[in-house]
Structure 1
Amino acid sequence: MACRFPFIGALALGLALLAPLPAAAVAGGVRIKDIARVQSDRLHPLVGYGLVTGLAGTGDSPANRATRQSLANMLSQFNVTLPPEAVNSRNVAAVMVTAGLPNFGRQGDTIDVTVTSVGDARSLVGGNLLLTPLNGPDGKTYVLAQGGLTVGGYRYEANGTVGQKNHPTVATIPGGGSIEVAPPAPNLAQLNSFSVSLLEADYTNAARIAESINAGLGGAYAKARDPDTVSVQVPDGYRGRFVELMQRIEAMEIAPDLRARVVVNERTGTVVAGANVRVAPTAITYGDLKISIVTENAVSQPLLLRQPSEAIRTEDYANSRIDLQEQGGATLVTQPGGTIADLVQALAKLRTSARDVVSVLKALKASGALHAELIVQ
């Protein structure tokens, strides 16, 4: 059967279809603050190695030599000398601690840290991170982290039965990192120019940001250097008033140019796309072929004989049959100007599964009928 589908912007099959408006249809526009950032505003990655204690028997096993050695080294700092072989505790876990140090962080400020197990610990629930220095790429210590862990999952075992939710070997400590050394930050009051970096590189959006800044400041102060960067000269009236200048620039709005894109998650069968993503006129044939093999077991019982022998006995045998069921296939014929929303709605009416919808979209991209970038996760 053939199905010609009208425009319907809804979704079924448990698929998420987000419908951003075309650039020309955006009424209020989007703030520059939401799609770009000043290049001096960044996070410095930090990492450290530490120990989590207080676990209820869910820490690293005694077979983990690194944890035993680390615990012995830690105890030696408190005048408790033990060989690593004598350490036997499942209440301790070796972890890696990571954090992002903001560029304008100051000494004494606190930041969030993430704790991940590096051994064979089963869960970090209820644990406490001991004082851990976090170092930058230069090897210097910038942050000291410690505190109670917040775990977004659990794992419990009893009599061979395991119950687990999410990942209990990853935890966070809100405000668990204390900045000891502030990162080098530029002196904003002395800046003559700066750069605005787009969160997603795009030539059109970079040009529109430059146009919006020039219109808002009343002069040729901004210039798009590439699809990712817009250079801005500080006007004479804003010398030493960088914060006020950024407050004004961040509030400026542009009509962003949206790139046609379809994101597919094969594990969950989720499709996220803009409703304005176009599909070229094409025909899609969809059908299922089901093959089932049925085996019936039976027993062959010989008739009663007057003179039985060892050659005559009961025998088991099996009969197998193959059933082929081919459901009626369906053909979809897309029209000029059709969108992903049209296609998905039509497939929903045919009761197509989410994973089959993903396969259809991949086939459309391979045939050149899908006018969008297809991202498969």
Structure 2
Amino acid sequence: MTRTSNLFLKAIGVLVCLIAAIAFMPQARAERIKDLGTFQGVRPNQLTGYGLVVGLAGTGDDAIQYATEGMKGVAARFGLTLPQGVNPALKNAAAVLITAELPAFSKPGQRLDVTVSALGKAKSLRGGTLILSPLRGADGQIYAMAQGNLAVGGLGVSGADGSQVSVNVPSAGRIPGGATVEQAVATGFDTAPTLTFNLAEADLTTALRVADGINRAFGDRRARAMDAVSVTIDAAQGAEERILMMGLIENIEIKPAEAPARVIVNARTGTVVINGAVRIAPAAVAHGKLTVSVKESPTVVQPAPFSQGQTAVEQSSTINVDEERRPVIDFKGGASLADIVKAVNAIGASPADLVEILGALKQAGAMKAELVVL
């Protein structure tokens, strides 16, 4: 075999190894645009309502005024009029607040899950039934009607001597599919001159990459990043064309920008979270612990016989100072999250100690990261 053939075979071998290395390299993390935010106007809406739950086993509101008025209104709805000055005893009924979420594009006839919570002194809603109640949006319009039997996961029992036992929260429950949509919410997305996509987390780099990804997918310049949150997209009029375009945009994959270096500290629980972007400049840290203890050992001193003296207490104090010796941590330039965790574990620092160390590093200018204290 000639020398040229050997060189050719070696070149082929190198090329094969290079291709294999590229194949097994970790690929850049890509996210779908739909996982990074939402289109403006395409969002759920909160609904609330007031109602009465009946059929309780003596765990209701008794004769609270707003519950009484609500029961009178329910009776009047069926053509019944209660005598003047007569207030019904409502131990078997309870005034409640009803909450639900109306998803985007909900249409009349669709079912919603509702949550029912006691408004007054009701001890338990277990076994109750919600009477037909309207659910209103922020504009005061009725968008759904709720009714049904409650599913309550809690349990409350009380004794004659005042003792009580509660499991979970018996004063709140849910009605799966307990509301029916009566009116659709006008989003206006099909008539606006443009569509706006809003990122869940503000980031200029990610907004630019979203706009660039949309433009590359459609082969034009229809998308523009307006700020760190919003991307404006030119769209044709009509719901059908816009829905098609929105569906295509949602599934475009881009690589979002890396999160800024950040350290989250919960001072109440001692929880410390450090993201992978945190780096430490060259620094040395010494974290010691000084313990001072004072021990009192009083001694009773008796006078000599027939000395006219008095019994006295002689104080004796012992003071100890114990300073725990811990090694100095030497952070090299560019120390990563793994280096920080390894060094802190080596000296046995507690979460409270870690908070002090990180705060001191930031004050010294050795940690270029945002320190967030919850």
| TM-score normalised by structure 2 residue count | 0.73
| Percent of paired sites with the same residue | 37
1:44-83 CA-to-partner distances (Å, cap 9, x unmatched) read: 2222222334555555476x54344434544454526277
- Counterpart of 1:335 (choices 326, 332, 336) is 332
Contact 1:103 1:184 in 2 (8 A): no
Change (3 A) 1:38 1:162: same
SS at match of 1:241: helix
Q: How does 1:122-137 map to 2 (within 5 A)?
A: 122-137=123-138
Change (3 A) 1:336 1:295: same
Q: How does 1:222-301 map to 2 (within 5 A)?
A: 222-234=223-235, 240-260=240-260, 261-290=262-291
Contact 1:113 1:174 in 2 (8 A): yes
With 170-179 and 106-115 compared, the bigger mean Cα shift is at 170-179
Deviation (angstroms), 1:34: 0.5
Change (3 A) 1:68 1:255: same
SS at match of 2:34: helix
Change (3 A) 1:250 1:286: same
Instruction: Give me the CA root mean square deviation.
Output: 4.2
- Which runs of 5 or more residues in structure 1 are unaligned? 1-24, 307-311
Q: Does 1:214 align with 2:215?
A: yes
SS at match of 1:209: helix
Partner of 2:142: 141
**Counterpart residue identity of residue 66, structure 1:** Y
CA distance in structure 1 between the aligned counterparts of 2:158 and 2:315, rounded to whole angstroms: 43
CA distance in structure 2 between the aligned counterparts of 1:157 and 1:318, rounded to whole angstroms: 56
Partner of 2:5: none
Contact 2:49 2:133 in 1 (8 A): yes
CA distance in structure 1 between the aligned counterparts of 2:153 and 2:217, rounded to whole angstroms: 45
Q: How does 1:191-206 map to 2 (within 5 A)?
A: 193-206=194-207
Partner of 1:179: 181
SS at match of 1:258: coil
1:79-130 CA-to-partner distances (Å, cap 9, x unmatched) read: 2627788454455443322222223110011122333344344554554433
**Counterpart residue identity of residue 110, structure 2:** D
CA distance in structure 1 between the aligned counterparts of 2:156 and 2:292, rounded to whole angstroms: 40
Partner of 2:40: 39
Contact 1:294 1:322 in 2 (8 A): yes
Partner of 1:12: none
Contact 2:41 2:189 in 1 (8 A): no
- Which runs of 5 or more residues in structure 2 are unaligned? 1-25
Deviation (angstroms), 1:368: 4.3
Deviation (angstroms), 1:317: 11
**Counterpart residue identity of residue 213, structure 1:** I
Deviation (angstroms), 1:252: 0.8
1:174-204 CA-to-partner distances (Å, cap 9, x unmatched) read: 322211111113363x665312111112111
Comparing both chains, which one has the higher relative contact order based on Cα–Cα distances under 8 Å and sequence gaps of 6 or more? 1
Contact 2:301 2:314 in 1 (8 A): no
SS at match of 2:66: helix
CA distance in structure 1 between the aligned counterparts of 2:329 and 2:154, rounded to whole angstroms: 44
| TM-score normalised by structure 1 residue count | 0.73
Partner of 1:4: none
SS at match of 2:286: strand
Deviation (angstroms), 1:230: 1.1
Aligned pair count reads 345
Q: Does 1:346 align with 2:347?
A: no
Contact 1:68 1:84 in 2 (8 A): no
SS at match of 1:212: helix
CA distance in structure 2 between the aligned counterparts of 1:146 and 1:44, rounded to whole angstroms: 19
Contact 2:294 2:317 in 1 (8 A): yes
